Amino acid sequence: MSSQPAHRDARPSRLPHLNQSPPSQRVARLPRVEAGDPHEAAALDWRALNRANWDDRVPIHLASRTYDLAGFRAGREWLSPFEVGDVSGKRLVHLQCHIGLDVLSWARHGALASGLDFSAPAIEAARSLAAELDIPASFVVSEVYDAVAAFAGQRFDIVYASGGSLVWLPDIPRWAKTAAALLAPGGFLYLVDGHPFAQILDETDGAVVTHDYFNDGPQVKEYPWSYTDGSSPLEHARSVQFQHTVGQIVTAIAGAGLRIEFLHEHDFADFQRFESLQRQTDSTYRLPPGRPRIPMPFSLRASLPDQPILAKLTTQTHSAAHLS
């Protein structure tokens, strides 16, 4: 186990992944977003800083027990499908896919799976693993905001975004419009992420609000470790994250023309988000009995109508008039 101090990073919170490592090996902590000087933050190139930070993490994660590549190579299940449903034969794209284990797992379940990430070393690792395991999956290097061009007009049945994605992006309406533009009619976006409210609570008990829920400006932090076990110091320790409220996320998705089918808030985590959480027999982590519960992850599914809602309403109105 690494000797680095507990800290919270926004990437590893993934609701579908409930079977990662034995508790003694699970050392993930979400690094707390540290608000820096707003003038300094505004002048920073958040994209370049975050790409360098995530490039540094790739070899660390490949060697970690948290990602357990040996187990994955042996066929260990990485995903619990949760609310996504049967993906067999479906065209699925994972945005911000990192080293691609989700993508390869969806492919193992029969999806026609693709992944996108802004880190070239991460995509190189994903392609290498896909070739080694003979798993049919495709990967592209691209900023998430450029995903439509990166896939050259290809459309998908499922756009999938896993935990810790949105905090790295400043513009959620643009992200939502990108996700909607990637969908084929009748397809859906499935987002599972850490709940924004949990991100503003103290790290020990998760009982005290210690950060501003509505501060959506760039927040700069210096932290030289990744969230996995055995992390060596990152050469590029500075990163920039962004807090988004639930309202901002839902409004952006609805504003992109998607119909929200559900928004679920969950009272458990799949890692020890707070020191007070207790590991359960199903490998989830929950607050001790008697503690008021709080939302830790949330999941959302939103679909692209087969035809624009206005056109559908117009058709229905004409049909009703004809029948009368």
pLDDT per residue rounded down to tens, the chain (324 residues): 333 333 345 444 444 432 333 333 333 333 433 444 544 555 579 999 999 999 999 999 999 998 999 999 999 988 865 789 999 999 999 999 999 999 999 999 999 999 999 999 999 999 999 999 999 999 999 999 999 999 998 999 999 999 899 999 999 999 999 999 999 999 999 999 999 999 999 989 999 999 999 998 999 989 888 888 877 899 999 999 999 999 999 999 999 999 999 999 999 998 888 999 999 998 899 999 999 999 999 999 999 998 764 444 444 445 555 554
Q: Tell me the chain's radius of gyration from C-alpha atoms.
A: 20
Which residue in 198, 254, 240, 219 sits closest to 15, CA to CA?
A: 198
pLDDT of residue 281: 92
pLDDT at position 306: 87
End-to-end Cα spacing for the chain: 73
Q: Distance between alpha carbon 172 and the CA centroid of its chain, in Å?
A: 13
Provide the sign of the torsion angle of the four alpha carbons 274, 279, 284, 290, taken in this order: negative
Report residue 278: phi and psi, to 5°. -115, 135
Residue 162: phi, psi to the nearest 5?
Answer: -105, 175
pLDDT of residue 113: 98
Alpha helices in the chain (DSSP H): 38-43, 46-62, 69-73, 101-108, 120-133, 147-150, 172-182, 246-255, 309-323
The predicted pLDDT at position 272 comes to: 86
- Give the residue from 194, 224, 197, 193 showing the smallest Cα distance to 211: 197
Angle, to 10 degrees, between the axis of helix 172-182 and the axis of helix 246-255? 40
CATH H superfamily, domain 23-323: Vaccinia Virus protein VP39 (3.40.50.150)
Sequence-distant (≥ 6) Cβ neighbours of residue 310 within 8 angstroms: none
At position 170, the amino acid (one-letter code) is: P
* pLDDT at 231 (0 to 100): 75
Judged by DSSP in three states, 179 sits in: helix
* Percent of the chain as helix, strand, coil, to the nearest 5: 30, 20, 50
Per the structure block, which two tokens stand in for 271? 């890692």
Hey, what are 288's tokens?
């001790």
- The CA distances from residue 221 to 31, 34, 200, 275, in Å, are 9, 5, 15, 21
**CA 180, CA 177: separation in Å to the nearest integer?**
5
Where are the chain's structural domains? Answer: 23-323
**pLDDT value at position 323?**
52
User: Identity (one letter) of the amino acid at 126?
Assistant: A
Among 23, 69, 53, 29, CA closest to 228: 29
